[in-house]
Structure 1
Amino acid sequence: MTTSIPATSIPPTLGVLLAGGLARRMGGGDKPMRTIGGRTILERVIARLSPQCGGMILNANGDPARFAAFGLQVIADDVPGFPGPLAGILAALDWTAANRPEIEWVLSAAGDCPFLPRDLVARLHEAREQENAQLAVAASGDQTHPVIGLWRVALRNELRHALVVEDIRRIDRWTARYPLATVTWPTEPLDPFFNANTVEDITEAERLAALDEVSQ
């Protein structure tokens, strides 16, 4: 499905790829560095999102040098204890405020979703504007994907308070406080939010990658 919003009306949006997970179900390591069809998952994600965003950064903890080949600014969580993706989103909002003050919106996406929609940013902004919402998240089928969404940079101090003072870790607990738009994508011919969490998922991703090439 294509968006009805003219490209010029989409607000400048910075993309952040969240790659700070511990990948326990894959035996550790960086899930986005796994290879599908001869390309890393992260390479596929960047290819999907970079045309939609006015710049991209990567949220990851540990040695940033392991991502040097991708040419993205790497930012780490500044909330200790691996509190989850909200910490990565907060780090991205803070980085954007300090380094790209002209940008009011950040699009977050999981770094292990190789088939993200090519109209992700446009449709999320369209729904947010139509519903006068403060935030927008993606869904497919009957499942919401709260880690994939639009975040207003101006909410960063409220998010920090929720994380540090209230110890809120679940994204949907925080987003429930604000008017939220949810945009649903079809799951055929494939779910665009399929993510590679396990070794078995990599095998399935290989099959879907071939299907994705045919459907384009």
Structure 2
Amino acid sequence: MVIVGVILAGGRSSRLGGGDKGLRSIGGRPILARIVERLTPQVEGVLLNANGDPERFAMLGLEVVPDSVPDLPGPLAGVLAGLERAAALGADAVLTVPCDAPFLPLDLGQRLEAAGRFAVVEGGDGRLHPTFGLWPVDRRTALREAVAGGARRIGKWMAEAGAVVVRFDDEAGFFNVNAAADLAAAEAIAVRLD
């Protein structure tokens, strides 16, 4: 199965004061650079879903794919944009990760693919991490219809669409930077993992 990675960076980052969360530094490196390093070996290529001027991400050397629906309706729109571009590239599926999770598991793609073509992550605490998922490109039409119909909650849509849940006990792998305090916590994790 040909899998393309899609980093979801289309949000507004309001809890972190705006701007691009993925361009914030941890251990002297942008969060997105850390994500690309961990995601690239797991997939056939990496796309970045982001809106606005793509030049701000030029240093990453990634194709930037904006939402294909208006009004920034959330991460489902980013998944849809990734699925549509991946289909055009001849891929079978996309592996999605958020732009604010610098320590994503190195075996994420392998474990989700082993579970099935449509899968979502559950952390060791029993909480879903729906932006970490494996999505077959043939779900793009149903997803486009759902987004057009007002669907916004990624976890809800995945559950209703029958995604397999894969449990991971590595909580650091799903740590995400949402607020200023999270940056300090991420620095501590980076010291431990780097």
**TM class by smaller structure:** over 0.9
Name which of 140, 146, 151 aligns with 2:135: 151
**Structure 1 partner of 2:40:** 50
Contact 2:7-2:48 within 8 A present in 1 as well: yes
1:209 to 2:166 alignment:
no
Name which of 157, 160, 172 aligns with 1:191: 172
Deviations 1:52-78 (A, max 9, x none): 000001000000000001000001002
What amino acid maps onto 2:98 in structure 1?
A
Contact 1:105-1:153 within 8 A present in 2 as well: yes
What amino acid maps onto 2:131 in structure 1?
V
Deviations 1:10-40 (A, max 9, x none): x220000001111111111000000000111
Moved over 4 A (4+): none
Displacement after TM superposition at 1:210 (Å)? 0.9
Name which of 51, 62, 80 aligns with 1:72: 62
Deviations 1:155-181 (A, max 9, x none): 1111100111x2111112221233321
1:109 to 2:97 alignment:
yes
Task: Identify unmatched segments of 5+ residues in structure 2.
Answer: none
- How far apart, in 1, do the equivalents of 2:83 and 2:187 lie? 33
**Structure 2 partner of 1:169:** 152
Displacement after TM superposition at 1:185 (Å)? 1.4
**Aligned-pair Cα RMSD in Å:** 1.1
1:62 to 2:52 alignment:
yes
**Structure 1 partner of 2:119:** 136
Aligned residues: 193
What amino acid maps onto 1:119 in structure 2?
D
Task: Identify unmatched segments of 5+ residues in structure 1.
Answer: 1-10, 129-133
What amino acid maps onto 1:64 in structure 2?
P
- How far apart, in 2, do the equivalents of 1:27 and 1:172 lie? 25
What amino acid maps onto 2:41 in structure 1?
P
Q: Report sequence identity in percent.
A: 47
Provide TM-score, normalisation by structure 1: 0.87
Contact 1:147-1:171 within 8 A present in 2 as well: yes
What amino acid maps onto 2:133 in structure 1?
G
- How far apart, in 2, do the equivalents of 1:155 and 1:21 lie? 22
- How far apart, in 1, do the equivalents of 2:157 and 2:85 lie? 20
Provide TM-score, normalisation by structure 2: 0.96
Contact 1:94-1:156 within 8 A present in 2 as well: yes
Contact 1:135-1:178 within 8 A present in 2 as well: no
Larger Cα-atom Rg? 1
